[in-house]
A and B are shown apart, each in its own frame.
Chain A
Amino acid sequence: MGVGFTVGVLGALLLAHAGYLTTQYRGMLKIIDEEFSGPPAGVVIELLLGLLLCMVAGFAGPGKFHSILPDSEENRIVKLPSNLDFMIFNHRGSVLPFDPELKLKI
């Protein structure tokens, strides 16, 4: 969580900085009286880097990845639920003694 958050903050800062640089650049263009054709290469690289960092943060930040493989430990079904709706009570376990001291105190 900590690493993801730091990376996210860094990415956001980069994006903000790229925006700031672009406005600066446009201001400069106005002074030297040229048409705006596109942002400078430095800003584009910064933008892409910021995007990448924000994406990493978006993946890593909120939680851990779950496996989609059916045979992974998290997904492999090893036991079906006992069919408790059809539970019957006259089974062989009923002859086992059970602690007679136990009682519900009301």
Chain B
Amino acid sequence: MATAVEEAQLNQLEIQVDNGGGGAWEYLCLVRKLKARRSDKVLKHGLFILNNPRARSKLGEEEFTLYEQVAFAAMDCRRNDIAKDCIGALFKKFPGSIRVGRLEGMLYEAKGAWSEAEKVYTRLLADSPLDQVILKRKVAMAKAQGNSAAAAEYLNKYLETFMADHDAWRELAELYISIQMYKQAAFCYEELILCQPACPLYHLAYADVLYTMGGLENLQAAKKYYSSTINLTGGKNTRALYGICLCSVAINQLTKGRNKDEKDISDLQSLAAEGLLRDYKERAPKKLSLVTTTLRNIKMVS
């Protein structure tokens, strides 16, 4: 998980490396640490280090980590030839390794040779039937072939064994959202919030799902979770502020007929609208008028 400081550091390093300021290895390390997916940059700068014998020998044993990282990046950029060379180098150093075997399977996946990839994975699973990454690759393969329902099924089976794997829960939530099974997705996000209650992004995603489902109860719960996101981020999450505004409007529309006399205009929505306007004023003054009209149209500000 990247905090605001780390994200800024990564972006700054990327600009520095792109402009030839050095620090490519530090950049690659940070990308690996934050698990960011910046394949084009990784491929470019990683290859630069690998093709430079002096820089490469300076890395020592880390060299092979870099080969692996570049291989992933190359597959992601459709440069299977480079990936093949990297995997070849790794095979030479570590013959019979499961980790390299996984890479080989992924190369088949990148080429679209599903049956070959399946064969590789089955062979590897025979040696170590509880290899989490390979089990996850099977899910990814189903997803890549456009079979989201089957992928969700595989992932459910996987989660029965590895319940504490929150990355898998998140993937399952996203899969369910892509096939519009919001109730199930909401369950996954509940699980994630239980797992890491201090991560605002799970609260936000859960609120999004609840808002999408609609209905008075869900909308009220969504508003609460947007509020907790704001609480955890100190009001610096624009999406959560918009969420509060939209939830308030939707709730007002739903309850308009029933309790006319009860004026339930909470401070929350006006505060959220104010926060939004202040945020835009600071960071994007050009769009301020646009936001003001939008908020005025939904009667959030007068």
* Same complex: yes
Binding site for B on A (CB under 8 A): 69-90, 93-94, 96, 98-99, 102-106
Contact A77 B50 (CB under 8 A): no
B78 close to chain A: CB less than 8 A: yes
* CB contact between A81 and one of B36, B50, B200 (< 8 Å): that residue: B36
Residue of B nearest to A74 (CB): B5
Contact B72 A87 (CB under 8 A): yes
Contact B3 A78 (CB under 8 A): yes
In the assembled complex, which residues on chain B have CB atoms less than 8 Å from the CB atom of A93? 39, 76-77
Query: 15 extra interchain contacts, Cβ-Cβ under 8 A, other than A81-B36, A102-B82?
Result: A71-B235, A76-B3, A79-B34, A80-B201, A81-B34, A81-B167, A83-B167, A85-B140, A86-B140, A88-B144, A94-B77, A98-B40, A103-B82, A104-B50, A104-B51
Q: A70-B232, A87-B140, A89-B75 are in contact. Are A78 and B4 (CB under 8 A)?
A: yes
Interface string of B63-105 (1 = CB under 8 A from A): 0000000101001111101100110110000000000000000
Binding site for A on B (CB under 8 A): 1-5, 7, 34-37, 39-40, 43-44, 47, 50-51, 70, 72, 75-79, 81-82, 85-86, 88-89, 106, 109-110, 112, 132-133, 136-137, 139-140, 143-144, 167, 170-171, 198-201, 231-236
Contact A106 B85 (CB under 8 A): yes
* CB contact between B78 and one of A80, A89, A105 (< 8 Å): that residue: A89
In the assembled complex, which residues on chain A have CB atoms less than 8 Å from the CB atom of B232? 70-71, 76
In the assembled complex, which residues on chain A have CB atoms less than 8 Å from the CB atom of B70? 104
Contact B170 A83 (CB under 8 A): yes
In the assembled complex, which residues on chain A have CB atoms less than 8 Å from the CB atom of B72? 84, 87
Contact B37 A86 (CB under 8 A): no
Contact A76 B233 (CB under 8 A): yes
In the assembled complex, which residues on chain B have CB atoms less than 8 Å from the CB atom of A96? 77
In the assembled complex, which residues on chain A have CB atoms less than 8 Å from the CB atom of B140? 85-88
Contact A76 B234 (CB under 8 A): yes
In the assembled complex, which residues on chain B have CB atoms less than 8 Å from the CB atom of A71? 231-236
Q: A104-B86, A106-B85 are in contact. Are A87 and B76 (CB under 8 A)?
A: yes
- Complex formed: what's the CA distance from A79 to B4 in Å? 8
- Complex formed: what's the CA distance from A44 to B224 in Å? 55
- Complex formed: what's the CA distance from A10 to B37 in Å? 51
Could you tell me the distance in whole angstroms from the C-beta of A45 to the nearest C-beta in chain B? 43
In the assembled complex, which residues on chain A have CB atoms less than 8 Å from the CB atom of B231? 71
* CB contact between B89 and one of A70, A81, A85, A106 (< 8 Å): that residue: A106
In the assembled complex, which residues on chain A have CB atoms less than 8 Å from the CB atom of B133? 85
In the assembled complex, which residues on chain A have CB atoms less than 8 Å from the CB atom of B198? 70
- Complex formed: what's the CA distance from A89 to B3 in Å? 27
Q: A76-B233, A104-B47 are in contact. Are A82 and B37 (CB under 8 A)?
A: yes
Residue of B nearest to A77 (CB): B1
Could you tell me the distance in whole angstroms from the C-beta of A84 to the nearest C-beta in chain B? 6
In the assembled complex, which residues on chain A have CB atoms less than 8 Å from the CB atom of B81? 103
13 pairs, CB–CB < 8 Å, chain A vs chain B? A70-B233, A73-B5, A76-B200, A77-B1, A81-B2, A85-B167, A86-B171, A87-B72, A88-B143, A90-B112, A103-B82, A103-B85, A104-B51
Contact B47 A79 (CB under 8 A): no
* CB contact between B35 and one of A76, A82, A106 (< 8 Å): that residue: A82
Residue of A nearest to B7 (CB): A78
Residue of B nearest to A85 (CB): B136
